[in-house]
Amino acid sequence: MELSSSFASLVSDNISFSSAISPFPLQSSLKTLKLTKPTSQNLRILAVAVEPQQDLPHNSPQKLLKELAERKKVTSPKKKVPPKKFILRPPLDDKKLVDRFLKSPQLSLKSFPLLSSCLPPSRLNNADQTWIDEYLLEAKQALGYSLEPSDQLGDDNPAKHFDTLLYLAFQHPFCERNKARHVRAGHSRLCFLGQFVLELAFCEFFLQRYPRESPAPMRERVFGLIGRRNLPKWIKAASLQNLIFPFDEMDRLIRKEREPPVKSVFWALFGAIYLCFGFPEVYRVLFEVFGMDPEDKECQPKLRRQLEDVDYVSVEFEGNKLTWQDVAAYKPPEDALFAQPRLFRACVPPGMHRFRGNLWDFDSRPQVMQTLGYPLVVQDRIPEITEARNIELGLGLQVALSCVLY
């Protein structure tokens, strides 16, 4: 009894149960101790989670696939290889570089600089020759040219390179052969040149055919003939669609697949024709081979309310609509004032002479001609011809600057 009473007094002296202390920390510590204590049941569960691996046969496909997957994980990922055009190559030695320049078709031609700039920078290879052997005769026959090889002509004849340019004209950017650098460069230059050749050809033709018409109706006539939507019709009329689409039927293609290749070939074709034969042959192919008609209903301009031009026109234009043969076969006389006298007269009619001696003629014309470097020093056999040319030049400058003055 004395021992129990002394133990009770000892416990009461060391431990005090205050109301301010919450019993929850004591409980949380007890729970923590209880969870951290390992049990045999937990160890048994971990052992059951791992399944034993079964040995597969040596030639089993599953085992080979697993080994392949492990090898892929071990190997490092593939690095991105830069495109070939960004890979630096060692420069060519002098001998190879000189040999490449000497064999270039562009440098081999010295008498026709514009034509040489449209030739391929390197010689045609076997793949190019295969296309030429298979399709070139068909193209030349459709356009009305001789089937003999053009390289048999003399060096002073630009038509000697017609076969090469004709081949490049049909290699549009959407075909397989255009991926070659020398083909792509030649076709793009022909296409660029042919676009403006067509515009200049129709500009000269309509200015002389309709001397009293304003530029807006003439633009509509040009668009009605060589607009992008109408080009497939002309290609089909000349039976050239199989050379542009050798594996497809052109009529079944949608517009975005049909019109861009046709436009590219059409422009490049006339670039090649102009370089080899000039503008007369351009007119022949346009109006004979493709069958274009300037009086067709589809290319007529819309009706406008405008005052009739009562000014005088040249005698060559009065009551006469020039044909494409008249424009193509025209040769200026030897004593003409200008290089293109009929075209100049279509833009500056004879009625402009009534404006001679006005205020602009005295105040502005000398300054404009001095700024442009006119009059040029030209020695004609008759002094009156030089004076007449300078007068016509002043009237033409007055027409050109009339939009600024008025």
Report, at the CATH architecture level, how domain 113-289 is classified: Orthogonal Bundle (1.10)
**For 300, phi and psi rounded to 5 degrees?**
-80, 140
Angle at 224 between CA 221 and CA 225, to 5 degrees: 90
* Residue 234 near residue 296, CB atoms below 8 Å: no
**Helix, strand, coil % in the chain, rounded to nearest 5:** 65, 0, 35
Residue 20: what pLDDT?
A: 44
- Between CA 202 and CA 218 the distance in angstroms is 9
pLDDT in tens, 30-51: 444 444 445 445 444 444 444 4
CA 86 to chain centre: 22
All residues at 6 or more sequence positions from 190 whose CB lies less than 8 Å from its CB, including other chains: 118, 165, 168, 169, 267, 268, 269, 271, 272
Tokens found for residue 37: 């204590």
* Residue 182 near residue 122, CB atoms below 8 Å: yes
Q: Residue 287: which of 237, 229, 341, 249 has the closest Cα?
A: 237
Radius of gyration of the chain (CA): 44
Residue whose token pair is 């003439």: 218
User: Where along the chain do its domains lie?
Assistant: 113-289, 355-405
pTM of the model: 0.72
* Residue 282 near residue 197, CB atoms below 8 Å: yes
Q: Distance between terminal CA atoms of the chain?
A: 136
All residues at 6 or more sequence positions from 186 whose CB lies less than 8 Å from its CB, including other chains: 118, 119, 120, 165, 168, 171
Q: Residue 198: which of 118, 120, 290, 261 has the closest Cα?
A: 290
Q: CA 350 → CA 125, 316, 327, 344, 359, distances in Å?
A: 57, 12, 20, 10, 19
- The one-letter amino acid at 248: D
Question: What are all long-range contacts of 291-294, with beta carbons under 8 Å and residues at least 24 apart?
Answer: 291/234, 291/237, 292/225, 292/234, 294/205, 294/206, 294/209, 294/221, 294/225
pLDDT in tens, 312-365: 667 677 777 889 999 998 888 887 888 888 888 888 877 788 888 888 888 888
Residue 226: what pLDDT?
A: 93
DSSP H or E run through 92:
none
Mean pLDDT by 10 residues, the chain (406 residues): 47 46 44 46 46 65 80 61 66 72 74 87 89 93 92 88 94 90 93 96 92 88 92 93 90 91 96 95 95 90 70 70 89 83 84 82 88 84 84 86 60
Q: Residue 170: which of 202, 138, 147 has the closest Cα?
A: 138
* Residue 186 near residue 120, CB atoms below 8 Å: yes
- Between CA 406 and CA 399 the distance in angstroms is 11
- Between CA 178 and CA 233 the distance in angstroms is 24
CA 33 to chain centre: 80
- The one-letter amino acid at 106: Q
Residue whose token pair is 């001679």: 356
- The one-letter amino acid at 2: E
Q: Residue 286: which of 174, 208, 186, 200 has the closest Cα?
A: 200
- Between CA 165 and CA 275 the distance in angstroms is 9
Residue whose token pair is 């301009």: 301
Tokens found for residue 208: 């002389």
Query: HSE (CB half, 13 Å, CA atoms) of 168?
Result: 33
